[in-house]
Amino acid sequence: MATLARKNLTIGLIPADGIGQEVIPAARTAIEAVGSDIPSPKFIDLAAGFETFTRTGTALPPETVETLKEECDCALFGSVSSPSRKVVGYSSPIVALRKILDLYANIRPVVSVSPVVGVPPDIDLVVVRENTECLYIKQEELRVTEQGKEARATRLITERASRRIGQMAFEIALNRPRQHLTVIHKSNVLSVTDGLFRETVRAVPGIEPKYQKVTVMEQLVDSAVYRLFREPKVFDVMVAPNLYGDILSDAAAALVGSLGVVPSVNAGDSFVMGEPVHGSAPDIVGQGIANPVASIRSAALMLRHLGYIKGADRIDNAVDSVVREAAFLTPDLGGTARTEDVVSEIVKRI
């Protein structure tokens, strides 16, 4: 669903927390290396994240949102160090941005090019995750009953959100060689919520006949995880509600060696934001060994979505050649290269 490339591109940079502050500059460097295929991109540095929250009392400053809406064509987001415990006043800025900017689709290609031992050589699938609802609406409550504490969460699935994520998934599948889509759900147990998701997505070809070319299958989420590891090549495009898509895409990253090589974009009808799949990796922050590949690939995916096909191809081809030759791999892929070494080599090949 690419749009026409803009003559002048303004990109918001939100490194956020942890290694996001190391890999988002790497993505910027790769974009700048493309040169004339992306003429004079403008970059705006923006704040968000848990570290921002601890300094200012807000994880997503209003000026960041305003700048994204008023000045930016797209953005790159790094990673968030969201605490596992409840922190009063804090909520995830990336979840908030997806809602505020209506970035309803999280698109995560999982492709193997790495020679790492144990990594299948021909993994090529896409997880399309609904990005705005399910349990991620964060409507939770804690009650005290006679039996003790009782926690409840509301899960929201709507026909509108299910239809448009279905349309996005069908469009992606239609433009891939296999033209195959698997609908992920658990409607044998959650017959109302997952039932609505399943029925709405499967109805999309009836609304848009061009999608009738796509072969549609479905899989219960638990068996989908099993088959993802046992038979990954049965999948081409997978479409899932928010929580399932989150789990499946992280699990799929294990098939290609590391979360550090898997990109994503959060896409809506008028804005797109690249985001590497990995987290903030506090155990390696500041050591200079973070893998920049996922962020650089996310930049290419973002550019491709915007219509900068040639520039995106140059970045992807450079990354693939570096990973494939295995001379510049970071420790997560079994190598000894530093972040700056990988970035330098990719830039040379762009």
Which amino acids are annotated catalytic?
Answer: 136, 186, 222, 246, 250
Closest to 107 (Cα-Cα) out of 245, 231, 227, 300: 245
The 3-state secondary structure of 147-185 reads CEEEEEECCECCHHHHHHHHHHHHHHHHCCCCCEEEEEE
Closest to 297 (Cα-Cα) out of 48, 108, 128: 108
Cα gap 135→138, rounded to integer Å: 6
Tokens of 74: 């797209």
- The amino acid occupying position 222 is D
Cα gap 331→112, rounded to integer Å: 17
Sort 229 into a burial class: Cβ within 10 Å, 0-12 / 13-18 / 19+: exposed
Cα gap 109→19, rounded to integer Å: 21
> How many angstroms from the chain centroid is the CA of residue 341?
25
Given a contact cutoff of 8 angstroms between Cβ atoms, the answer to whether 66 and 6 are in contact is: no
